[in-house]
């Protein structure tokens, strides 16, 4: 059994009012600021300051209420805390730490909203968000944020492993129409490799602009609308063609005809048949000691592209 890991204290002094991090008398850069200057410079463009302040105040209150529950089992009765408790129960989340500070011990530091223990040496990391809408850009920023946290977390706790990253999206605000904007969901986030996160930190430290490997080049981005239009057209054509083929097949079956030859097109009806395939996984399970490699054929598969809308 792996030795139980207790999380290491970073030694960083965090000032919540000024939102600053200090280590050995030196100020460290926060990850949120890093992401804004490197990858998301226009995140808050054209949003009135009053709106940002209201959103920040609401987010802080929800964070504090959930933290009070984890620390003291205090339930303030709000819908947000009820939803947080339910999400923890549904996903078997065992709280280990809130606002856990991680650092590279020289330049960067930040607080992880939630750390949940999975085993003696394995943990999940979560970020609590109170957005009214989880846009693709917000989701991508959270992915970078949590991935950097995971990199720093494992750097700080040498034998610890991060299993999963996710967003706890919780919100319950009164809307102008009298209804509530109620959101309660856990969103799994795919981790960005640590070497890419380290490169982002190193690039920022050099004062250079980081080029994200996940950013779509402008010449491709300019074709996005056209690609979407083509895919939608293809979907309509495939649906219409499928309906036509179904009617033709039905007609050929009723006439017991195997083929028709037109001026420019040929219709061929395939008769019903059965297909037999070899169940390799079942064979391996039934014959675990047998060497089946001499009977395996290996072929090269060309690269391909999948586009989803």
The set of residues, in sequence order, having a beta carbon less than 8 Å from that of 144 and lying 6+ positions away, is 35, 39, 192, 197, 200
Identify which of 188, 204, 185 has the alpha carbon closest to the alpha carbon of residue 196.
204
42 pLDDT band, cuts 50/70/90, is confident
Domain boundaries along the sequence of the chain: 13-221
- 5-14, 197-206, 298-307: least confidently modelled range: 298-307
Contact 125, 146 (CB under 8 A): yes
Q: What confidence score (pLDDT) does residue 92 get?
A: 96
End-to-end CA distance of the chain: 45
pLDDT score of 25: 92
Quote the tokens at residue 63.
């964070």
- Does pLDDT of 301 surpass 80? yes
Residue with tokens 């917000």: 138
Helix, strand counts (H, E) of the chain: 8, 10
Q: CATH second-level architecture of 13-221? A: Alpha-Beta Complex (3.90)
pLDDT at 148 over 70: yes
Tokens of 119: 């085993």
Residues 6+ apart with CB under 8 A from 8: 156, 157
Cα 210 to Cα 170: distance, rounded to the nearest angstrom = 31
121: which DSSP letter?
S
Dihedrals phi, psi of 134, to nearest 5 degrees: -90, 85
Closest alpha carbon to 166 in 196, 191, 194? 191
Give 197's pLDDT tier (boundaries 50, 70, 90): very high
Tokens 């499928």 locate to 242
E strands, 54-145, are: 95-103, 108-117, 122-129
- Closest by CA to 171, choosing from 293, 87, 290, 94, is 87
Q: Is 1 a residue whose pLDDT tops 70? A: no
Cβ distance 52 to 62 under 8 Å?
Answer: no
pLDDT in tens, 93-146: 999 999 999 999 999 999 999 999 999 999 999 999 999 989 999 999 999 999
- Class of residue 262 by CB neighbours under 10 A (exposed 0-12, middle 13-18, buried 19+): exposed
């Amino acid at each position: 059994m792996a030795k139980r890991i207790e999380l290491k204290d970073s030694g960083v002094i965090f000032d919540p009012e000024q939102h600053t991090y200090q280590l050995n008398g030196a100020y460290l850069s926060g990850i949120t600021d890093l992401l804004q200057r490197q990858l998301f410079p226009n995140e808050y463009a054209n949003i009135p300051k009053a709106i940002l302040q209201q959103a920040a105040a609401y987010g802080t209150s929800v964070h504090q209420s959930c933290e009070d529950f984890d620390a003291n089992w205090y339930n303030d009765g709000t819908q947000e805390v009820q939803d947080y408790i339910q999400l923890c129960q549904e996903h078997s989340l065992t709280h280990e730490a809130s606002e856990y500070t991680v650092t590279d011990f020289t330049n960067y530091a930040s607080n992880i909203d939630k750390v949940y223990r999975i085993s003696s040496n394995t943990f999940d990391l979560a970020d609590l968000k109170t957005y009214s809408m989880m846009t693709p850009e917000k989701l991508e920023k959270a992915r970078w944020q949590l991935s950097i946290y995971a990199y720093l977390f494992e750097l700080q706790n040498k034998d610890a492993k991060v299993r999963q990253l996710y967003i706890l999206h919780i919100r319950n605000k009164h809307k102008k129409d009298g209804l509530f904007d109620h959101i309660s969901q856990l969103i799994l986030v795919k981790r960005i490799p640590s070497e890419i996160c380290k490169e982002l930190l190193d690039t920022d430290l050099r004062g250079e602009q980081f080029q994200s490997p996940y950013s779509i080049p402008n010449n491709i981005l300019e074709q996005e609308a056209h690609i979407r239009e083509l895919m939608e057209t293809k979907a309509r054509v495939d649906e219409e063609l499928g309906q036509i083929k179904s009617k033709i097949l039905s007609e050929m079956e009723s006439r017991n005809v195997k083929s028709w030859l037109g001026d420019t097109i040929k219709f061929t009806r395939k008769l019903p048949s059965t297909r037999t395939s070899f169940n390799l996984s079942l064979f391996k399970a039934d014959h675990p000691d047998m060497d089946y490699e001499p009977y395996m054929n290996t072929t090269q598969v060309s690269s391909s592209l999948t586009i989803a809308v």
